Amino acid sequence: MKIKENIAKIRDEISSVCEKIGRNPEDIKLIAVSKTRTIDEINEVLDSGCLECAENKAQELRDKAPLIQKDINWHFIGHLQTNKVKYVVEPSALIHSVDSLKIAKEIEKRAEAVNKIQNILLEIKTSEEESKYGLYKEDEIFEIADFCKGSSNIKLIGLMTMAPFVDDDSTIRQSFRKLKELFDKMNNKGYGLTELSMGMSGDFHIAIEEGSTMVRIGTSIFGERDYTK
């Protein structure tokens, strides 16, 4: 199957889930996770009408961004270290993975240097998996949100999470529901969040049912990755 056909199939699946639950499929942003993928593959995504691509390594985003000549919105979804923020701020339409005040302050500094208002999401840890990054203490989450509110060069627009890698749909659903509850709580306190980035190839149907506005799809678009290259 070709990339364009895969994207069309995923869009059909998104529409089907939305129809069942009374949501508008246009409210769901499809983000193609292009880590380890070639420029030709990314161009094929863009040719299909999907203009959202995501990278999870700062240097890979830095190196790929200048090579794309077409309209594209880059998303950064990987764990971000302070010394790598400089590679990510300029190309990124949205940084999904802000998980500390230190990172938020560095993004603010770098965004100010390039005269940009950087849209960000806070990455929230909603499962017990040790390998997951993300914020989980509420006071820390609100501290960073307040910092962003007072910042001139950062705009906090939502939250992101990764569900645990399990076969149990109810555990996955619980993880997404937890994020939506925090999202609602923050909006009740006036933070004005609009985006929920949750759902990947194996669980995006559940994520949409639980309120996701952005799904991050890699394997179902590109096929399995070959990490030997």
H helices within 54-189, ranges in order? 58-64, 85-88, 101-113, 138-149, 169-188
Measured CA to CA, the distance from residue 104 to residue 27 in angstroms comes to 27
**At 130, is the pLDDT very low, low, confident or very high (cuts 50, 70, 90)?**
confident
pLDDT in tens, 41-81: 999 999 999 999 999 999 999 999 999 999 999 999 999 99
- The confidence score (pLDDT) of residue 28 equals 98
Residue 229 within any structural domain of the chain:
no
To the nearest 10 degrees (0 to 180), the angle between helices 3-21 and 39-47 is 50
| Residue found under tokens 């996955």 | 172
Measured CA to CA, the distance from residue 51 to residue 74 in angstroms comes to 8
| Residue found under tokens 């390039």 | 114
Residue 51 and residue 26 in contact, taking contact as beta carbons nearer than 8 Å: no
Tell me the two tokens of residue 160.
């992101």
**Average of per-residue pLDDT values in the chain:** 95
How many domains would you assign to the chain? 1
**At 1, is the pLDDT very low, low, confident or very high (cuts 50, 70, 90)?**
low
**At 132, is the pLDDT very low, low, confident or very high (cuts 50, 70, 90)?**
confident
The answer, yes or no, to whether residue 224 has pLDDT greater than 90, is: no
Which CATH number does the domain housing residue 24 bear?
3.20.20.10
> Is the model more confident about 175 or about 133?
175
Measured CA to CA, the distance from residue 98 to residue 160 in angstroms comes to 9
- The confidence score (pLDDT) of residue 128 equals 80
Main-chain phi, psi angles of 216, to 5 degrees: -110, 105
pLDDT in tens, 113-122: 999 999 999 9
Domain of residue 67: give its range: 3-222
Q: CB-side exposure of 50: number of CA atoms within 13 Å?
A: 32
Measured CA to CA, the distance from residue 118 to residue 93 in angstroms comes to 7
Q: Report CA 120 to chain centroid distance, whole Å.
A: 9
Residue 227 within any structural domain of the chain:
no
H or E, element range at 76: strand 73-76
Q: What is the pTM of this model?
A: 0.96
Residue 228 within any structural domain of the chain:
no
Residue 197 within any structural domain of the chain:
yes
Q: Mean pLDDT, to the nearest integer, of 161-188?
A: 96
Q: Mean pLDDT, to the nearest integer, of 190-201?
A: 98
Residue 33 within any structural domain of the chain:
yes
The answer, yes or no, to whether residue 229 has pLDDT greater than 60, is: no
> Is the model more confident about 89 or about 229?
89
